[in-house]
Structure 1
């Protein structure tokens, strides 16, 4: 084909991605609406050329990435009605070309020092980015912060909302520190979202010297910046201590603050990835536990053993302090369960479990004492403190409630049962209901049966921390007689 023909020209344009290139420049211009389009496009192209690695040639596929970045910026600038707002783009002062010779020693020492420092930051970001394990990445960030900023120590705190505390996540040189939100240097930075650069810590009224005393350390200079997530919310704090110098009087500069802010952004990404990874691992383990329970339930076991399997295993995978499986006995208008070798009966019109059985709905309470259906007398009788409750119906194939699973006190930092807990437990109970109903010995054991008869098949007891207990929120036969 003649290279001068129209077909050859079109092939060239296609091979170089010109359509994407023009679309990208047009989109950038529309988003910024520059007064001088030529100067704007010149700066835009210079920016992309400066981003190339040394010796790198033009890559047509890069234009697609440019377009995606521009459209993402446009979406971020849209108002609540979806209208894209004009957002003039700001360009950094042009940097020296990667192919230009480095400045001679002494020609511009400030520029040379800044370039050297930025090279360290870029290298640190590359090292951080190469680590696939999120927690290892945070450890690398701390080490790189000490190295790049020439600091004695560095720490990364995460904000724990359930306790309103900053908790030490990763540290280079310190251990086991918890800082109240809004208190001390780190707590103040977390609360205000503003960096603090302190040349003499003991002069600052926000500084709490008890941590120095506890760890046998003396803090001189401090630099502390917020760590933010993708939504720009403060999720932690990163700080470096004691700028290293011969006379131990050096403090951190504005340039150090810029660098630590960059590293804190990397830490925010790493913390988000760590949280996502942890949630995925927990979800995977919980699903495995559910599948394991279902497999066990299909084995030929008696009804009481089946009850015990459900209650003990559900307690484990939902991570609650206690779990009780109540069987619905509609002939007697009551719920019954076993504690040890004793039948326990609850009127169907009383308590949280009774409400679930009658209304065929789940009940999730963050504070049981706020619900009038909960009877606090049994907590007082047993010396127990019920806080959160999750009670859900277990149905047969026809959708009729045949049992209720009641969980007490979520054992995590939040202390409450989440929607994820509800969904996972609901999925399990959807499978378990027909299995329990179709068990060959599914008929309820009447209260007239002897303890010996019940005990012949019972293989375990409801447990709390491995100890036999009497469950709260239940009424025994003796209690009913007294009533």
Structure 2
């Protein structure tokens, strides 16, 4: 067995002309006398590799050519007495080919810096995203690029913007982008259709043909995954048509910059929205102080709150404790629902905020209303409305946030609004009307309970009131 292994090794060394390689390295070392032989070998080997044409493999005949070139250069440097002169130290020497590689890398770095400047100048999230995509296509020399944003609440990736693509959503863990989002690891595929995780459905719908894919996770400043960047169809790589190791490095850098840029843009947008919401809340409060009718007051509050929070629907219910009902007006229609049922009922009874990501997952949600109206309730935010004594006097309910889910910021701004609006509504004609109706019902109940019994007088053909035998208790 050992003889066969030795013979096999000798055959390999002969086939690779390895002895000539060793002779060449030895000659180079003797002529240069490097202080660090390993660094020296790395330098001269890198020089030879850089001289190869794209895709060229090792040729055993090259080793002999290296020796001949080395000896020829040594002979040319001999003095008048034929003595060979030592070469300059070459541990860190870079040849012309190495300089070309360094120049390419420097040019790429310059492009990246320029891209960062363009990206970071955008404070609008959409514009920032659009800049990231355009710069990615330009620097990586690819046909298309896409940026997915993570919707953690719904466990999907939403296509924010793409070069030449339409809006789509990808479940976490599904497809190339979904797998990158769940694993946090880069994926580089030279042949998309040969990969079992590639979903060709989008290609079939659009007529586009995806060949190569480079997909990397996008992280925010805290290192959390907030999205995925994807480049499609590398152009100009004759070797295998796919993305290179350098492309992976560049894409990773771009993704890191994208995460920071998107976070900064979102923070800027959030700050502007918060300022705008405060102003709008004050405007709503001012409108509530004006002498509005019942319908106008409810319409003003619900319509403007719906716009403020960007929800699909908004309802304001007042609590009638004596009847055990929540009631509101829609036009001239008086709508009443039990105060111990549904999401609004739960808020009225418990006095706590309810924020649902999926209404159908909560057993308190009444699906019959959706079925009757043909409506699909997804997200719900319901908050208690309190009066001067902090008692619950009503419920504000919003359905289906337009751009995702109701956030803690939505809860906070509505909480501030309701703390101001509660006492105002409690003293409004709307609430007083409800209280008046309730008081009238209570009084009517007492009168019916304590009114003297009536008897029928056949002569007078009428009902007479009997005498009260005792005092009212």
Distance, in Å, in 2 between the alignment partners of 1:160 and 1:272 is: 14
| 2:280 counterpart residue number | 289
Normalized against structure 1, the TM-score is what?
0.61
| 1:305 counterpart residue number | 296
Question: 1:173-252 counterparts in 2 under 5 A?
Answer: 173-245=164-236, 249-252=240-243
| 1:39 counterpart residue number | none
Question: 1:83-482 counterparts in 2 under 5 A?
Answer: 105-106=96-97, 108-245=99-236, 249-330=240-321, 334-346=325-337, 352-353=343-344, 356-357=347-348, 359-365=350-356, 388-401=379-392, 403-412=393-402, 414-415=404-405, 417-439=406-428, 442-444=432-434, 446=437
> Compared with structure 1, are the counterparts of its residues 411 and 136 closer, same or farther at alpha carbon in structure 2 (3 Å cutoff)?
closer
Distance, in Å, in 2 between the alignment partners of 1:267 and 1:344 is: 50
Per the TM alignment, residue 265 of structure 1 is displaced from its structure 2 partner at its CA by 0.6
Distance, in Å, in 1 between the alignment partners of 2:167 and 2:150 is: 14
Q: Which has the larger radius of gyration?
A: 2
> Compared with structure 1, are the counterparts of its residues 267 and 446 closer, same or farther at alpha carbon in structure 2 (3 Å cutoff)?
same
Distance, in Å, in 2 between the alignment partners of 1:371 and 1:141 is: 40
Per the TM alignment, residue 126 of structure 1 is displaced from its structure 2 partner at its CA by 3.3
- Whether the aligned pair in 2 keeps the contact of 1:336 and 1:345 (CA below 8 Å) is yes
Per the TM alignment, residue 361 of structure 1 is displaced from its structure 2 partner at its CA by 4.3
Unaligned runs of 5+ in 2: 1-91, 441-473
Distance, in Å, in 2 between the alignment partners of 1:110 and 1:182 is: 38
Normalized against structure 2, the TM-score is what?
0.62
Per the TM alignment, residue 254 of structure 1 is displaced from its structure 2 partner at its CA by 0.9
SS in 2 for 1:167: strand
SS in 2 for 1:422: helix
Per the TM alignment, residue 371 of structure 1 is displaced from its structure 2 partner at its CA by 6.2
Distance, in Å, in 1 between the alignment partners of 2:98 and 2:280 is: 67
> Compared with structure 1, are the counterparts of its residues 423 and 447 closer, same or farther at alpha carbon in structure 2 (3 Å cutoff)?
same
Cα RMSD over matched residues?
Answer: 3.5
Distance, in Å, in 2 between the alignment partners of 1:142 and 1:376 is: 42
Distance, in Å, in 2 between the alignment partners of 1:395 and 1:317 is: 20
Deviations 1:330-358 (A, max 9, x none): 56565443344243445655655455445
SS in 1 for 2:437: coil
> Compared with structure 1, are the counterparts of its residues 383 and 272 closer, same or farther at alpha carbon in structure 2 (3 Å cutoff)?
same
**Hey, which of these two has a bigger chunk of helix by percent?**
2
Distance, in Å, in 2 between the alignment partners of 1:119 and 1:331 is: 74
- Whether the aligned pair in 2 keeps the contact of 1:393 and 1:404 (CA below 8 Å) is yes
- Whether the aligned pair in 2 keeps the contact of 1:323 and 1:405 (CA below 8 Å) is no
Distance, in Å, in 2 between the alignment partners of 1:359 and 1:346 is: 17
- Whether the aligned pair in 2 keeps the contact of 1:395 and 1:429 (CA below 8 Å) is yes
> Compared with structure 1, are the counterparts of its residues 374 and 157 closer, same or farther at alpha carbon in structure 2 (3 Å cutoff)?
closer
